[in-house]
């Protein structure tokens, strides 16, 4: 039987040979998951049961084939909460925590304790669920169209015990927007990659659903359509909050201003990239 230490070195080396960028980290995550041990290398001489070894080796192979680590593990953390993920749903990104922070800040600094919030293009539900956990009196509705994403969204609502309402529908359709009115906040991390970016995706991102990534030729299609449509669902004085891609802030700001939004303000993510905008419907 192989020891933990030997198997770890073998898996890490195999990943490194395949140019997986964070081989040590990814191997450690797989070991933690398969062995149910936060510190699997504290006992490097311990034998790995055969079945577990098989599982670890197959997860390592999947990683080497370009599958994202998060899909292999089946669960990923966002804002300290667990989210089930897999093929068919966008993996929650740390950048998006900036968007959640922006919404929480708006609520706290304006004394809105029980906001009515809609999260458009909800995907895994990481934004909607986190907002409900952080703002327990909020009334949060998640809107999602994808048949592949919806099962994850439902699971994540249940997993986190978050009482989030769900609308299965197209965020670009009038009849979806008409279902919600008098909202304090509309928040969205819509697809925003350009055609050019879609043609040159990182191996792992290419495994994520194009529907969650592609924002039309210039990446701005959703901002153009969502802004006038969902403006009507906001109450006067309500906020629209978006995440967008690097370098898109000026154009997204123009779209908001062109639709009569005011107090347009941007925030940077932890990497220093201007990543979110919030604006008020007068
Ligand atoms: N942040 C994602 C990426 O860069 C894109 C997510 C999106 O389009 N909303 O891959």
Q: What is the pLDDT of residues 180-194, one digit of tens each?
A: 999 999 999 999 999
93 Cβ closer than 6 Å to some ligand 1 atom = yes
Task: Give distance in angstroms: CA of 199 to centre of ligand 1.
Answer: 14
Strand 139-144 to 116-120 pairing: parallel
pLDDT the model gives residue 58: 98
Half-sphere exposure of 94 (CA within 13 A, CB side): 6
72: in domain: no
Q: Please give the pLDDT value at position 81.
A: 98
Reference 241, options 121, 144, 160, 150; nearest CA is 121
How high does pLDDT run on average in the chain?
A: 98
Percent of the chain with pLDDT over 70: 100
Low-confidence ranges of the chain (pLDDT < 50): none
The residue whose CA is least distant from atom 9 of ligand 1 is: 191
Ligand 1 near 191 CB (within 6 A): yes
The whole-number pLDDT of residue 131 equals 98
- Do 123 and 231 share a domain, yes or no? yes
* Residue 27 and residue 119 in one domain: no
CATH number at residue 38: 1.10.8
Q: Are residues 60 and 186 in the same domain?
A: no
Res 63: pLDDT = 98
Would the CB of 159 count as within 6 Å of ligand 1? no
Question: 210 and 118 in one domain?
Answer: yes
pTM over 0.95: yes
- Decide whether any atom of ligand 1 lies within 6 Å of the 189 Cβ: yes
Q: What is the pLDDT of residue 168?
A: 98
Give the CATH number, domain containing residue 206: 3.40.50.150
Strand partners, 234: 183
Dist. CA 52 → ligand 1 center (Å): 34
60 and 197 both lie in a single domain: no
Whether residue 98 sits in one domain with residue 23? no
Domain residues for the domain of 11 are 4-65
83 is a domain residue? no
Q: Assess contact for 266 and 254: CB atoms under 8 A.
A: no
The per-residue pLDDT for range 200-237, each reduced to its tens digit, is 999 999 999 999 999 999 999 999 999 999 999 999 99
Same domain, 17 and 125: no
Domain total in the chain:
2
Q: Hey, which of 213, 215, 273, 276 would you mutate to test ligand 1's pocket, going by the most ligand atoms within 8 Å of its Cβ? A: 213
- Terminal-residue alpha carbon distance, the chain: 69
Q: How many CB atoms within 10 Å of residue 19?
A: 9
What atom of ligand 1 comes closest to residue 243's alpha carbon? 9
Q: Is residue 79 a part of any domain in this protein? A: no
């Amino acid at each position: 039987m192989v020891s933990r230490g030997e198997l770890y070195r073998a898996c890490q080396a195999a990943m490194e040979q395949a140019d997986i960028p964070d081989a040590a980290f990814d191997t450690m995550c797989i070991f933690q998951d398969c062995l149910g041990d936060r510190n699997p290398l504290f006992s490097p001489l311990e034998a790995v049961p055969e079945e577990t070894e098989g599982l670890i080796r197959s997860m390592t192979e999947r990683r080497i084939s370009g599958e994202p680590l998060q899909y292999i593990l089946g669960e990923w953390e966002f804002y300290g909460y667990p989210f089930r993920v897999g093929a068919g749903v966008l993996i929650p990104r740390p950048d998006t925590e900036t968007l959640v922070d922006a919404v929480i800040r708006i609520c706290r600094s304006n004394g809105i304790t029980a906001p009515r919030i809609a999260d458009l293009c909800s995907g895994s539900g990481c934004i909607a669920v986190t907002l409900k956990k952080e703002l327990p009196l909020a009334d949060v509705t998640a809107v999602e169209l994808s048949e592949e994403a919806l099962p994850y969204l439902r699971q994540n609502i249940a997993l986190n015990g978050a009482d989030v309402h769900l609308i299965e529908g197209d965020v670009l359709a009038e009849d979806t927007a008409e279902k919600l009115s008098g909202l304090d906040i509309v928040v969205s991390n819509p697809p925003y990659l350009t055609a050019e970016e879609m043609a040159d995706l990182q191996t792992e991102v290419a495994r994520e659903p194009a529907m969650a990534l592609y924002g039309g030729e210039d990446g701005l299609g959703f901002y153009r359509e969502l802004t006038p449509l969902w403006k009507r669902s906001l109450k006067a004085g309500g906020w629209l909050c978006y995440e967008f891609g690097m370098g898109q802030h000026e154009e997204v700001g123009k779209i908001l201003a062109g639709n009569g939004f005011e107090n347009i303000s941007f925030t940077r993510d932890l990497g220093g990239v201007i990543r979110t905008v919030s604006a008020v419907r007068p």
